[in-house]
Structure 1
Amino acid sequence: MIQLPILSLTDEPAALAQKLGDSFSTYGFAMIKDHGLDPALVRQGWDKTAEFFALPTDEKRRYYDAEAGGQRGYTPFGTEIAKDAKAHDLKEFWHVGREIDPASPIAHTMPRNVWPERPEHFRETFEPLFAEFDRVGNIILSRIAVYLGLDADWFEPAVHEGNSILRLLHYPPMDASQGEEGAIRAGAHEDINLITLLLGAEEGGLEILARDGSWIDMRPPEGALVVNVGDMLQRLTNHVLPSTTHRVRNPAGDRARYSRYSMPFFLHLRSDFPIRTLEGCISAERPNRYPDAILADDYLHERLVEIGLVKA
């Protein structure tokens, strides 16, 4: 049985950079404890997540805008579909995005946040929790930069005002799920963004695809983060850091009667950032797979079309 190493964000920076890079280059994933997210704020986040998804479906759907591609607010159960999958995922979710200065030159690319009337203190919980994830994500990016031979602050301008998203995920009990034949909680997919920071993976179900074709069960310690490489970072690094296929399988036995909640933070590049292969990731043995750069916003749009959230 393969078990990923559990890393600590408090490790000496250079040593952590190497350990993170080794885990990412091998698995596309890492598990991180001692991450420093405010525990009281995280607990409050879990409470508000459960309270929101317990609301009547009609009330939740008031915050759904099909034309917005699920980028903010509510996305109903059975809407998202993994690329090339035949059945929609058995989940519903809510997206919180970055609050950006209207005077910013990229403000027009950033959807406005949507805030529900219930539960109380929803916005007051998730605005600071978004900022906490953003802070920790930037520390992790600085360690990745060092591993890649870049300055530790290389990613700072690349993600400044980036279109990052905090997703609140609810997978309902299986007996309440009316999905299509063969549907699972989250079909096999790769993430679009730069890196993903995930809370809630200690509840079983998350699996990653190993190079030998087997599925690895991800069970981090309670409260630890699961962090994975997204397609944007894979493209930027010419697959030095791979974006690994993962899924959330359906529970068996007694666990099928319970909801599953998780909280991924999708850390994105700023919308006008050109994704251009890093020179240090190109060699005779590793020729450039992506000779043409693409703007982060254009890349995001392409992928949202593929997963059914945006029309072409």
Structure 2
Amino acid sequence: MSIPILDLQEALAPGGARSAAVAAQLRAAAMASGFFYVRNHGVSGELVARQFRVAHQLMALPQQRRQALSMQHSPTLRGFENIGAQTLDAAARPDLKESFYCGMVYPDDHPYVRAGYQTYGHNQWPSELPDAPAQCETYIRTMLALSTRLMQLMALSLGLPEDYFDATSADPMVTLRMVRYPAHPVDADDRTFGAGAHTDWGAITILAQDAHGGLEVCMPGGDWVPATPVEGCFVVNLGDMIPRWTNGLYHSNPHRVRNLHSGGAPRYSIPFFYEPGYFARIEAVPGTVPAGEAPRHAPCTAGEHLREMYRKTYGLKTGATDATSAASP
């Protein structure tokens, strides 16, 4: 089994001539590995190239500067993350990657910022790269628009109105991550990965990767296959919210990274993580629960789900202002 390529030509806008056909392809991919490529996605190659340049510039900053802008200094967990700071696979060694996180900027008087909800707030930026904030904000807006369209196609794939998920995208939780993987150690054991096997936490991940490759996807039969870079394409995968939304019909499959094919050079990738708004309800959508059966997953909000994932992987404690009993504004 291979990872399919979805061509979004004539399906990029609601009511597009090929929307139904693309939605059917998305359904097939979602019921298999939860991974697919998209081409003709409306994002310019130059915008992606500029984003990679920013990623290279950020990772070229001295370690002292990166430490001063560590994500550990940020209430929204934005900024630099050191190699080994995250362990995505509990059975593996700490991940061999370093990252820079940023996201949408919400003003101080936004109710979610005042409440202290995770991911809502401001970014940290190095003064040495004055153009980085505007470039990242442009990229985030572009990826958010593509994510919204993919969610519309997903709604069609489930036999729902095209705008079914639109309301959940108000005040979304989105994260842009620029990742640098050093060359895979020549003496590495079978517990060493750039990113250990994991599933993503949110709804949709849109990945731009450089030409080196290294991403591997676990297919339904248990085989690991490479998600080889395809020129002009993003890799898209479904996160853990989607099985909750679809009662297990659609899958969020494990994937991992090993930088084995770069000839000793670092590998760069830029994942964009789309999550709906904090109080978006994540529960089985109509048509996914067979008559007489109970849903496979308990309902929750997007904020509850995402916060629990952060707690598990980073050991974060839940603050009083981020409690699950907080009332929706």
TM-score (normalizing by structure 1) = 0.91
| Counterpart mapping for 1:238-249 below 5 A | 238-249=247-258
- Deviation track 1:253-300 (CA, whole Å, cap 9, x = no partner) reads xx251010001110001111121221321004974112x321211111
Match of 2:199 in 1: 190
One-letter code aligned to 1:197: I
Structure 2 Cα separation of the partners of residues 260 and 131 of structure 1: 25
Q: Which runs of 5+ in 1 are unaligned?
A: none
Structure 2 Cα separation of the partners of residues 101 and 70 of structure 1: 13
Structure 1 Cα separation of the partners of residues 81 and 147 of structure 2: 25
Deviation at 1:201, TM superposition (A): 6.0
Structure 2 Cα separation of the partners of residues 181 and 5 of structure 1: 28
Cα pair 1:72 1:111 within 8 Å, conserved = no
Match of 1:199 in 2: 208
Cα pair 2:6 2:36 within 8 Å, conserved = yes
Q: Matched residues, percent identical?
A: 28
Structure 1 Cα separation of the partners of residues 113 and 75 of structure 2: 18
One-letter code aligned to 2:276: L
Query: Which of 33, 40, 46 does residue 27 from structure 1 map onto?
Result: 33
Cα pair 1:206 1:248 within 8 Å, conserved = yes
Secondary structure in 2 aligned to 1:50?
helix
Match of 1:18 in 2: 24
Q: Which runs of 5+ in 2 are unaligned?
A: 11-17, 319-329
* Comparing 276-285 and 132-141, the one that deviates more: 276-285
* Comparing 127-136 and 40-49, the one that deviates more: 40-49
One-letter code aligned to 2:277: R
Match of 2:6 in 1: 7
One-letter code aligned to 2:5: I
Cα pair 1:83 1:307 within 8 Å, conserved = no
CA 1:202–1:3: 2 relative to 1, 3 Å:
farther
Deviation at 1:83, TM superposition (A): 4.3
Matched, 1:222 2:221: no
How many residues end up aligned between the 2 structures? 307
Structure 1 Cα separation of the partners of residues 138 and 148 of structure 2: 15
Matched, 1:289 2:296: yes
Match of 2:323 in 1: none
CA 1:250–1:286: 2 relative to 1, 3 Å:
farther
Match of 1:80 in 2: 86
Match of 1:117 in 2: 127
Matched, 1:310 2:316: yes
CA 1:293–1:68: 2 relative to 1, 3 Å:
farther
Deviation at 1:59, TM superposition (A): 1.0
One-letter code aligned to 1:156: D
| Counterpart mapping for 1:262-277 below 5 A | 262-277=269-284
Matched, 1:164 2:164: no
Match of 2:287 in 1: 280
